[in-house]
Amino acid sequence: MAEPLVELRGVCKSFGNKHVLNDVDLVIYPQDALVILGPSGTGKSTILRIIAGLLAPDKGEVYVAGQRRQGLRQDGLCRLRMSMVFQQSALFDSLTVAENVGFYLYQHTRLPEARIREIVSEKLAMVGLSGMEDLYPAQLSGGMRKRVSFARAIVDNPEDPDDDPYLLLYDEPTAGLDPIASTVIEDLIRDLREKTGHAYVVVTHQNSTIERTGDRLILLYQGRICWQGTHAEARTTDNPYLRQFLSGDVNGPIRVIDQVGTAAL
């Protein structure tokens, strides 16, 4: 089997006295299309941030391209490129679409302006936003802003001799989008993988996104992995957590949170 891109071993994370992740083991392989699903507040984004190296675990180990990561991510020290697409797109409002997408190249390379514009236009074309270079984020719909953030995530320096594999991390990529805009984004996640061959991890609790973007599924509940498998296995499993989560039933082992935030009995 191929060397894992990322491996978490026995990862635990708490915020204050709240235990968010409990002894999580997780492996991400090259070309994985992995979806981490689970109810709100169960630690999905926290896992993604630990994979990205934006948060360090309290306990446990993180291996990236076979090397143990100490502390947080340090760019340039690792053979695996990773980009995170944040839930709120995280664009700079005062910069144009082109400046947002090309931000990394403007900051970290000596490529001439014209070359950066060319790369940016190529990435915008890949996400279906040709001709939007000079608009500002406020002039775009939520779905378009999402696509700009995808274009930014896949920007790389073509003159860098390193041809490392890379991993895209999507945090709730379809949150707040209508069903049609969600489909466009889900198709795009697949399509970008076809074009670039990268692996990805999607964190979501939306059924269509689980269905359309995941080859491998992991169910997280209260900071633990309760189930993992394929769609075919999900359809026939008798795991009570997964069955309840996918059916949306209020009865089952997943505790339902009521409107004032306390667990219903």
Ligand X SMILES: Nc1ncnc2c1ncn2[C@@H]1O[C@H](COP(=O)(O)OP(=O)(O)OP(=O)(O)O)[C@@H](O)[C@H]1O
DSSP 95: S
Contact set for ligand X, span 205-224 (CB under 6 A)? 205
Task: For residue 103, give the nearest of 169, 165, 158, 155 by alpha carbon.
Answer: 155
* In the complex, minimum distance from the CB of residue 255 to ligand X, in angstroms, rounded to a whole number: 13
Question: Which residue number, 15 or 92, has a Cβ lying nearer to ligand X?
Answer: 15
Location of structure tokens 């505790």: 255
Contact set for ligand X, span 83-142 (CB under 6 A)? none
Interatomic CA distance for residues 116 and 118, integer angstroms? 5
Is residue 20 involved in binding ligand X (CB under 6 A)?
yes
Q: Are 108 and 69 in contact (CB under 8 A)?
A: no
* In the complex, minimum distance from the CB of residue 19 to ligand X, in angstroms, rounded to a whole number: 9
Interatomic CA distance for residues 131 and 31, integer angstroms? 30
Is residue 54 involved in binding ligand X (CB under 6 A)?
no
Q: Contacting ligand X (CB under 6 A), which of 45, 206, 213, 244?
A: 45
Is residue 41 involved in binding ligand X (CB under 6 A)?
yes
* In the complex, minimum distance from the CB of residue 21 to ligand X, in angstroms, rounded to a whole number: 8
25 class by beta-carbon count within 10 Å (0-12 exposed, 13-18 middle, 19+ buried): exposed
Contact set for ligand X, span 151-170 (CB under 6 A)? none
Q: Contacting ligand X (CB under 6 A), which of 46, 100, 209, 213?
A: 46
For the sheet containing 81-85, what is the strand order?
81-85, 166-171, 199-204, 33-37, 216-221, 224-229
Contact set for ligand X, span 166-205 (CB under 6 A)? 205
User: Where does this chain bind ligand X (CB under 6 A)?
Assistant: 15, 20, 38, 40-46, 205
